[in-house]
């Protein structure tokens, strides 16, 4: 499946929704604290206080042509501070 990716929209700093997309740079922006994620680099954090990249959901196309999840997220979804022991 070429060109379609899915990521959690839960901001990895404090759970705000990552809701702004900048088409020319392929960046996603969180309006709460301006963390910026680069879609061309697997949603790596390129600016701001976010603790890590947005988790990617592995997807595929089923026999009927619908997008379906292959599994759950491989990384934790939500703020990085939740991962502290």
Q: Kindly state whether residue 20 falls inside one of the protein's structural domains.
A: yes
Q: Kindly state whether residue 38 falls inside one of the protein's structural domains.
A: yes
Burial of 3 (0-12, 13-18, 19+ CB in 10 A): exposed
Say what the pTM is: 0.76
Q: Kindly state whether residue 1 falls inside one of the protein's structural domains.
A: no
Q: Kindly state whether residue 72 falls inside one of the protein's structural domains.
A: yes
Q: Kindly state whether residue 50 falls inside one of the protein's structural domains.
A: yes
Q: Kindly state whether residue 34 falls inside one of the protein's structural domains.
A: yes
C-alpha dist (Å) from residue 63 to 19, 52, 71:
31, 34, 17
How far does Cα 28 stand from its chain's mean position? 8
- Return averaged pLDDT per consecutive 10 residues of the chain, 85 residues in all: 75 76 93 90 91 89 93 77 52
Confidence (pLDDT) at 36:
94
Confidence (pLDDT) at 19:
82
What's the total number of domains in the chain? 1
Q: Kindly state whether residue 74 falls inside one of the protein's structural domains.
A: yes
44: domain CATH number?
2.102.10.10
């Amino acid at each position: 499946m070429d060109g379609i990716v899915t990521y959690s929209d839960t901001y990895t700093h404090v759970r705000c929704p990552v809701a702004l997309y900048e088409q020319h740079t392929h960046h996603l922006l969180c309006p709460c604290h301006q963390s910026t994620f680069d879609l061309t680099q697997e949603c790596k954090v390129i600016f701001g206080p976010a603790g890590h990249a947005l988790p990617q959901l592995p997807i595929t196309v089923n026999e009927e042509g619908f997008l379906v999840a292959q599994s759950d997220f491989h990384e934790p979804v939500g703020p990085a501070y939740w991962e502290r022991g």
